[in-house]
Structure 1
């Protein structure tokens, strides 16, 4: 059928006496649900030829960005809004960038109820062209709300929308980086594949529940998968993920615990951007706690060509893209509030074996693009016809927890030295009791795989209370150099490891 704005407004006016929509009015089908049934569905689907969901009608796909943004979900029509539950759900319409809808179900007492599409749940803020609604139309995803900040207001804390993307925030934060259910061939010259969460099951929460559960079916030309997310909103917001993959083909380039973020510039590359702000980024570094117990910090970069870095490891203890810069003056942006973006820390459940934390950095000239991806890449391929189960915890918040207590890198500055020939690298380490009052016994250990470096100098930084390690780099004929630095005292490491790829 065809829906015009005039007819839609008339319909909304006719129903305005009942502003709160009960979920039951949207139900189109019911069926039993369990995680075992989800696993069997993914297993069976993997044995069939890949078939994507139908495209939504063309007028929805061809909407302009401005017109699409006129369609906003009305929170009064949220699922469970009229019930005494600690969880509420809002829906997003498919359209524009999301051209194939996801099926969304709510689950209670082992029964899954499929939500039908209803455009009257949305507020239309302005004039729109005629938009058809047929059986291919649906939702692009959803957001969940609970009393995360105050006891009397339901705020959103996690969003599932687009491919296998989702993102969450902790108490008092704003959205920043995103996670993915699975990354396939990221950065590969053969092209990346983006699996979809095609079906969701959101469990109804009972009175007093603080952990909420979402299940998802993943489907792509290369694999299917069954995912479960147990989500506890707070500070941090914790998401425990369990998943099983059923490859259709041999998967040789898989990314587990994948996340994507934005890094435009900071003190390392500020000279390349004519911008009123000091820094622009959702994340400023990759943090790794490797299987050997080393704590590693790799500042992010915005390269001029795609750069891929592999940090080989065995049974990683954790990794994540972090936003360490929390001083508003380091950004100077009163609208974006980058200092309030979350970090995302991944803690594997069990042993993940050999592989590498892989970092993909993509050139970008605008902050609207996510250009940084990080994930765990297993060394061994996942073979077609097999099943692979894994799990991990995600902490969305300001900092990673549970790591060795060492002074961390708070800032990296890179630029020409006083002679305008060499490059000067200055690494600030945050204040810490390990430094003590007398820093004369602290020794820098700095290495480079090309060029030459000066002997590092360690100084107290009066503005931070920590210490600064500075050294000169002479690239000579090298166009890229891998740098490593750490502070030691009495032959014992007293700081995390700083790694950086310098590129001419």
Structure 2
């Protein structure tokens, strides 16, 4: 009997339910030491043979596979659903070239290993070339790019106990089912089985590449243990330094980050822009809401002169949005910022934490749509933050300078109703802070006639951090995103 995608997803769901009803068994794979001990440069010398791509020359989609080794020492089982039949995909060393420093690996018996993950290809930018647009590799991580974008931030299937004292638990996809698209299809489906000590889950990803590469996700979770902190639809990124930094960086580049801010659209219509930072110590904050309209990690600005990096090309890094489908109830978007001294480390993560905990024996389903975009989602109607700056609040050379702790902030907004707004209009700001004293608040149009600047000073209250929020208003109507920053003296 032919198997349909929906029926297969039900089978994967039943597998997840059965897993959660039994004790957790850690995945184990005995890889040759030559694979587990290799470094990044040697791993890169293992190359997939393009001519062995799955479904090559049979439609618009192709799949290439990743070799196990280096950091990817837990192979996954990969199955294909083709023409109503499910079959497993055994590991075949012949699919790979072992070049240069990896040449000796071709002499090893690597049969029966399993693959580390896979990547999806589609004619995204040109009709005559199939670009890589999605990668599933490592634990529950996957990365997406849209048209003319380069890889940056990552998404994850789930986050558990992130930034808690007992340490984070990393759920991992153990098996995948790749559904072969039909001729003319513009999307493909991936099913996945997730497992971890606290829970198991079945995932369905319907992935459509394009200018904004979009994934419709359904996650069915089954708890075998109580989960102290459940992080739904996590996004993970890197922020080393940017425009609000207070520390002097020995770096010719103006900014180094994959994302510059967390953007959230609340259920009440407010859009909050939370400036990212590389903190001195671990920093955790949350934005409360009931069934938010969406949230994402955003890369602003998106032009070369903002970064000056010809290799990393940070201006091409995608932003990514998460739009809940259905009611998610009460909870908060949690932002975790971890100190780092290297752009090689992802130190930023954001996810939804439901107010109702997931207890042993519970099951829960989350549906959401996530997609890549540029510097602002198309649905955002308000003026957006284009610059955030801060520095000492005095003027060099003053005979009677102010308190050395005094900070001057400027935030520039553009777009929305600000476009073409005459300078005579009485634009003002609402400004709040959780501690310290603000003063000299004013709103000024800039000479380009497109941008409006909000500025103010903050005198901190000792060592107390200040949670600052600012919104531009016109005659009682909100004009802009709510700019938000946590200032730590």
Matching residue within 391, 407, 412 for 1:428: 412
Provide, for residues 138-195 of structure 1, a one-character-per-residue CA deviation record: whole Å limited to 9, x for no partner: 2110000011111111111000000000010001100000000000011111100111
When normalised by structure 1's length, the TM-score is: 0.91
Q: Give the conservation status (yes or no) of the 8 Å contact 2:301–2:375.
A: no
| Residue 63 of structure 1: aligned partner | 38
CA distance in 2, matches of 1:439, 1:262: 41
CA distance in 2, matches of 1:173, 1:66: 24
Matching residue within 422, 431, 446 for 1:437: 422
CA distance in 2, matches of 1:61, 1:299: 38
Identify which range, 481-490 or 52-61, moves more after superposition. Answer: 52-61
- 2:231 paired with 1:255: yes
Displacement of 1:404: 4.5
Matching residue within 11, 18, 36 for 1:44: 18
Q: Give unmatched runs, 5+ long, in structure 2.
A: 397-403
- 2:175 paired with 1:191: no
Q: Give the conservation status (yes or no) of the 8 Å contact 1:345–1:400.
A: no
CA distance in 2, matches of 1:234, 1:335: 24
Q: Give the conservation status (yes or no) of the 8 Å contact 1:430–1:464.
A: no
CA distance in 2, matches of 1:169, 1:53: 30
Provide, for residues 400-428 of structure 1, a one-character-per-residue CA deviation record: whole Å limited to 9, x for no partner: 54534111111101111234722111101
- 2:477 paired with 1:479: no
Q: What aligned pairs does 1:72-471 form with structure 2 within 5 A after superposition?
A: 72-81=47-56, 83-128=57-102, 129-130=104-105, 132-134=108-110, 137-269=113-245, 271-401=247-377, 403-419=379-395, 421=404, 422-434=406-418, 436-463=421-448, 465-471=450-456
CA distance in 2, matches of 1:376, 1:358: 6
Identify which range, 488-497 or 340-349, moves more after superposition. Answer: 488-497
Displacement of 1:109: 3.0
Residues 278, 488 of structure 1: alpha-carbon distance in 2 compared, 3 angstrom cutoff: same
**3-state secondary structure, aligned to 2:19:** helix
Provide, for residues 216-259 of structure 1, a one-character-per-residue CA deviation record: whole Å limited to 9, x for no partner: 00011111100000011001111000010011101120111101
Residues 464, 385 of structure 1: alpha-carbon distance in 2 compared, 3 angstrom cutoff: farther
CA distance in 2, matches of 1:188, 1:439: 51
Displacement of 1:271: 3.7
CA distance in 2, matches of 1:66, 1:285: 32
**3-state secondary structure, aligned to 1:44:** helix
CA distance in 2, matches of 1:145, 1:77: 13
CA distance in 1, matches of 2:415, 2:331: 33
Matching residue within 473, 479, 485 for 1:500: 485
Q: Give the conservation status (yes or no) of the 8 Å contact 1:79–1:90.
A: yes
Q: Give the conservation status (yes or no) of the 8 Å contact 1:174–1:341.
A: yes
Displacement of 1:112: 1.6
Provide, for residues 51-70 of structure 1, a one-character-per-residue CA deviation record: whole Å limited to 9, x for no partner: 12222233211112222121
Q: Give the conservation status (yes or no) of the 8 Å contact 1:86–1:206.
A: no
CA distance in 1, matches of 2:169, 2:135: 21
CA distance in 1, matches of 2:11, 2:488: 51
